[in-house]
Structure 1
């Protein structure tokens, strides 16, 4: 039982220790030195600039702590909260010609916020009807791509088919196209006319190669698109090597806003069609183009990339990806099967890009465009821009019922509306404090602009709020601001009381560390003042303080036994978290006695010879059946009822016949119950009875052993003999005697009366029999004779 108690105490202490560690880890405000640093650490941190703030306490603390303890006046606590202002919040509307559509709401907000303070926003997207669509076809018009007449016919009818296809989706669309070949330099193109003719055997010949040419600006007129497509097919060109300059073409299409004619608000789509590989950054060096691509527009007045193509290298994949993201453009790759895998890898690097295979003669280019457009249109994805050191998380139900972490919804139809829960958190004050962050819809020019103003300083730190050479700092050796001293050069300490020339601040900190390689000063339980630790109180307003050179000791954090730390002053004392036991006691809690007098059985043996004495308690041998505090109890042994009688009587009935101090010290395992289990229900339970001399009542109790110690249960109710009814019996007896006497008298009276009546009757009889007249002669006979007729009964008697 003792071991169980010690284990429970150990678990409690470990749990307390874990709580303290968890609190320390969950308190990010600890050890923060300035107000600005405090408000940047976490949104739960607050600063107390009050001059009367306790010296040993941290001015940067959890706001809830200040509020709960009242250690800092509420009106002085520095705890800035975010401020959000809606600047533009137009409702989502459909788009028609001459009307600007809105699919993203809100469009602009102002947000003033401190670092590590999450802010929740609501972002709405609605799939608008008749949303403007700009489709630009970037075609590989080399001889190898369109040499088949079927391909030429499909390209000529592209405008008509595309117009019919797009009109089913939106009333507001425009079409444009351009083509690419390669840089006009060796070894990318034929360098003689003869080589060009041999590689392009057309009757009208081949045009001299070019890198990119814008043939049709985006237009609402499909006839214009069709006419210019026909003209483009009349003049071909050809390169020498297999890869083409398609990446130069994509860069110019994305960069030349005015030349291409992109709308400010539309879904931008570039359809890239080719049957060849493409050159990337580094390839242009072979032709003398050694200047890195600058991602700018370099078309001449005729819409041709000329001159700069021979100076600048091809763009890299990362440059193309950045430009796609910057311009919110969707790229659809419609390529032949032989180069599908390469373009598929490129598509994965570009936001909103899709890919499809062209069949012979480009017959399915319209189908590919419509299919991929439907894919792009039916999904919405939001991505942040200019969001360095900012974390932005998205959640949405999309078209379901469960809220999930996602920035993308798919399967949307015209008119569908979805909401995103956006959480924005500025991680730190790195970078510009005032800037704009965009949450952009991929493939759309619409976005939410967040004008961000990051709070990195406290008002009390700003110029004009400080008190220079303040007398509140030691001999005016510091500037007093935000309730504390910022020391002048050569001084340090909380009040600038330390002189750098006498002891450097670095050496001072070293002197206050138990481990020089650690960052912990004074064990986090004190202040380092000029190289010496000044320890904090263990609790607020307590006389108990940490001790030791590095405040590493807590003389009030030792194990408890018998309800007291280290068992009490008679057993041991707590020193730096360890119990130092007095003679006669041992153990980590001084709960173990080195004496064995408590283990002596009635026969004088230690533990009755059936166990060993450990810490003043008998541990009975497991091989035998002996049990009890001194191993004297066994199934066949006399009961120990007389031993436990004293505890049972004094603990429950307060019987003064037993020593009260004995009851207090040795009867801790006695409990009172309303009823006891029946005899024989449990073989481990022994039943006992005791007749009280004072009341002559029977008191019942049981005992059993839990490990070593007995568990005694006492029935609260006594079983007392019933009192003899003396008075009723006495009265009954008296009454019975009286009643018997009365009955006897009545019987006697009755018998006497009967006897007298009988004698009186006999007397009367005798008297009648002896009656005669004294003057009458006894021998005289009356001469009168009476005769009666026996048959006559109705008349008078005859005399």
Structure 2
């Protein structure tokens, strides 16, 4: 026993701790009161301001939601606690001064997850008025039942009048739809052809439903209608009962139903057959569904839509009967009792009784069924389909007050003046608050106690704290970005932090201390901002690294970066907390200064082939390391001191050998005679040295001596003594002569150019003078005819009638 109690207490502690954590994770007042009914919200600005300054470095918003019993202690007090518990308002008398069901109106506001309950008292009345409508199957097989009803009609009315204060009775009948294949067209819609023993005047045409008598207290009228009723026929066994019930429920004024507050409504169904269901009408091509309205022919009172629409569904009939508070009593043959028991599961207000083979128990059955329904309390909750988030039950509390409890919520054999207490429990899930505002309006429910009365229940959900109405958008309290609501900041999606001070990119910070019990923020090397450490700079100018600034960049070796700056790990890696550089891709070495890129080791002349270090070295860290520095040198190891390719490099060694004063660096250079160069492994190259205007030429080659390669210098054969510079030495051409010759040449060229220019100018002037002189001569008058402008002033005239002996010449142009 003690061990069991220990396990129970441990489990209770775990659940309590989990609930407390669930509350603390809710950061808005709305979520706090709708997602966990054990939580409450602190709407105290002073508490928020204190927590915001205390936790300003964290990313998470500050939630003021706590478990109700821990709120004050966990937040250090709160002056305004939001913890709605819901409300219940009841009104006992609404439609009657002496109700059998109280209260008749209940209004509730429900907090999601927090159940509410209230009690309802149901008392069978001492007396009640009844409207009974007898709905009879008048197919041929019911002819005996019709005859018995005629015989028992007086007794039926008398007994019902004894059981009630005021009794009214009505009468209607049903058969089947007057369309094929439900009737035989060859019989002209009559049963006389099918049943020869029946006289023609005792049969009538088939119909689905016919209203014969309005509800009345006149027994003689009822007896007359029973006497005038005739049977009819149909082809199949099921009948149009659902069509008939639909019209009984829909035709309120035509049938004459009294208000439900004034009388109990009963419909007594007498039949020995099954009923047609929805979709059976498709056999006759009837696809349209009934509209649930009254369609009685004004003259014949026959349902005139039967041959136009399909049969209604049993669910539709159940809803219409329930809406009109009509209680059906099915008095049926034994063969179909199970069928109507199943129908009563859909129509919860229905009662089912069995008619004997000869229908002699009809009167007793009706009486017993009425007594049973008058003492049976069945709660039916209507309207729950509109609120699937609501769970609602109505259960008897006091063992049905000396009655009998059946089927969980139904009490029977409850007699006046006993009262049954029903406990009604309601609980709203948090999903309800996900609805839109229009979907969260007050919902009207109804608890119907069949035959006794109704309770109207108005339900509304609590989905807000009320303080949301005072929200301030872009509040200065929330960094002028978030919304200040119910003493907390609600940040947009791109911001975080208690007062929306952190960008959303800061999500994922792991805190600013190395452990929960550590008090050293960011290892003492930085500041905590938005739940992350912002590290300071180390003495070498670099920033401390690591989640908690625990890594010191001064512990790692440094190197020269391409920018020329000296950086830890050469700027190509991360300094680990162990003082070891973690190099980035393409770099290696202790300080990450060694690049794996080999492009810098390829000489420009070898770009096409990609040969590294001219084939005479290794590319290490992007730099050529020549294989033999005494032989190969240069940035790409392209220079060769022993390859007979560098005269300038050898000139100092040749001079020192001539002067016989050589350093050790020239030991690899030897001067040999011409006949000793046979063992060279490279072609000879000719070089020269100029000394005192004397040029000495020699040849350079390489000879192999063992494993060593040495340079040999071979002088010209005419130079038997290398110390004798004049031997074989040709005089050097005077250098000063060259500029002198060039100067003289330039001067002569200038004189020639000037002379040609002067001569050309003189020639041009001479030719221009000759042309001018000639033009002057051409301007003189020329009487000899040379002048083309000269005109002779002498004219001659001859008289054709006068023939002088001599011609007179007139000079000067005078008159004749």
Tell me which residue corresponds to 1:317.
Answer: 314
- Deviation, structure 1 residue 26: 4.2
For 2:276 and 2:404, how far apart are their aligned partners in 1?
46
- Deviation, structure 1 residue 220: 1.8
RMSD of the alignment, in Å?
A: 3.6
Is the deviation greater in 378-387 or in 36-45? Answer: 36-45
Higher relative CO (Cα under 8 Å, sequence separation at least 6) belongs to: 2
Taking structure 2 as the reference length, what is the TM-score of the superposition?
A: 0.55
For 2:4 and 2:188, how far apart are their aligned partners in 1?
93
Tell me which residue corresponds to 1:73.
Answer: 78
Tell me which residue corresponds to 1:449.
Answer: 456
For 2:162 and 2:396, how far apart are their aligned partners in 1?
33
Of 171, 177, 180 in structure 2, the residue corresponding to residue 177 of structure 1 is 171
In the alignment, structure 1 residue 132 sits paired with structure 2 residue 137: no
Q: Is the 8 A contact 2:269 2:329 kept in 1?
A: yes
CA, structure 1 residues 490+252, in 2 after alignment: closer, same or farther (shift >3 Å)? same
Tell me which residue corresponds to 1:22.
Answer: 15
Q: For the pair shown, which has the larger CA radius of gyration, 1 or 2?
A: 2
Q: Is the 8 A contact 1:43 1:116 kept in 2?
A: yes
For 1:402 and 1:243, how far apart are their aligned partners in 2?
35
- Deviation, structure 1 residue 219: 1.4
For 1:371 and 1:401, how far apart are their aligned partners in 2?
17
SS in 1 for 2:239: coil
Of 191, 199, 204 in structure 1, the residue corresponding to residue 194 of structure 2 is 199
- Deviation, structure 1 residue 439: 1.7
For 1:512 and 1:305, how far apart are their aligned partners in 2?
82
In the alignment, structure 1 residue 496 sits paired with structure 2 residue 497: no
Is the deviation greater in 349-358 or in 391-400? Answer: 391-400
SS in 2 for 1:242: coil
- Deviation, structure 1 residue 414: 2.5
For 1:82 and 1:195, how far apart are their aligned partners in 2?
64
- Deviation, structure 1 residue 478: 1.0
Tell me which residue corresponds to 1:470.
Answer: 475
Tell me which residue corresponds to 2:240.
Answer: 245
Of 421, 440, 443 in structure 2, the residue corresponding to residue 419 of structure 1 is 421
Q: Is the 8 A contact 1:50 1:72 kept in 2?
A: no
Tell me which residue corresponds to 2:293.
Answer: 296
Q: Is the 8 A contact 1:383 1:407 kept in 2?
A: no
CA, structure 1 residues 20+248, in 2 after alignment: closer, same or farther (shift >3 Å)? same
Within 5 Å, give how 1:165-314 maps onto structure 2.
165-194=159-188, 196=190, 197-201=192-196, 202-204=199-201, 206-232=203-229, 235-265=230-260, 266-302=263-299, 304-314=301-311
Tell me which residue corresponds to 2:111.
Answer: 114
Of 448, 453, 464 in structure 2, the residue corresponding to residue 440 of structure 1 is 448
For 1:198 and 1:186, how far apart are their aligned partners in 2?
16
Count of matched residue pairs: 492
In the alignment, structure 1 residue 347 sits paired with structure 2 residue 344: yes
Q: Is the 8 A contact 2:131 2:168 kept in 1?
A: yes
Q: Is the 8 A contact 1:138 1:178 kept in 2?
A: yes
For 1:15 and 1:379, how far apart are their aligned partners in 2?
43
Tell me which residue corresponds to 1:770.
Answer: none
In the alignment, structure 1 residue 459 sits paired with structure 2 residue 456: no
Tell me which residue corresponds to 2:39.
Answer: 45
Point out where structure 1 has 5 or more consecutive residues left out of the alignment.
Answer: 1-7, 94-100, 514-521, 523-528, 535-547, 551-799
Q: Is the 8 A contact 1:253 1:260 kept in 2?
A: yes
Point out where structure 2 has 5 or more consecutive residues left out of the alignment.
Answer: 56-61, 517-527, 534-545, 549-816
For 2:427 and 2:408, how far apart are their aligned partners in 1?
17
In the alignment, structure 1 residue 381 sits paired with structure 2 residue 362: no
CA, structure 1 residues 457+283, in 2 after alignment: closer, same or farther (shift >3 Å)? same
In the alignment, structure 1 residue 154 sits paired with structure 2 residue 156: no
- Deviation, structure 1 residue 246: 0.9
CA, structure 1 residues 405+454, in 2 after alignment: closer, same or farther (shift >3 Å)? farther
For 2:471 and 2:417, how far apart are their aligned partners in 1?
58
CA, structure 1 residues 299+105, in 2 after alignment: closer, same or farther (shift >3 Å)? same
Q: Is the 8 A contact 2:138 2:146 kept in 1?
A: no
For 2:9 and 2:235, how far apart are their aligned partners in 1?
79
CA, structure 1 residues 288+483, in 2 after alignment: closer, same or farther (shift >3 Å)? same
Tell me which residue corresponds to 1:59.
Answer: 64
In the alignment, structure 1 residue 326 sits paired with structure 2 residue 323: yes
Within 5 Å, give how 1:296-695 maps onto structure 2.
296-302=293-299, 304-387=301-384, 388=387, 389-393=389-393, 394-397=395-398, 398-400=400-402, 407-428=409-430, 429=432, 430=435, 431-444=439-452, 446-462=453-469, 465-473=470-478, 475-488=479-492, 490-500=494-504, 502=505, 508=507
| CA offsets 1:327-382 (integer angstroms, 9 cap, x no match) | 33322211122322322322233213222221234222221111111111112122
SS in 2 for 1:335: strand
For 1:404 and 1:351, how far apart are their aligned partners in 2?
13
Q: Is the 8 A contact 2:210 2:303 kept in 1?
A: no
Q: Is the 8 A contact 1:114 1:426 kept in 2?
A: yes
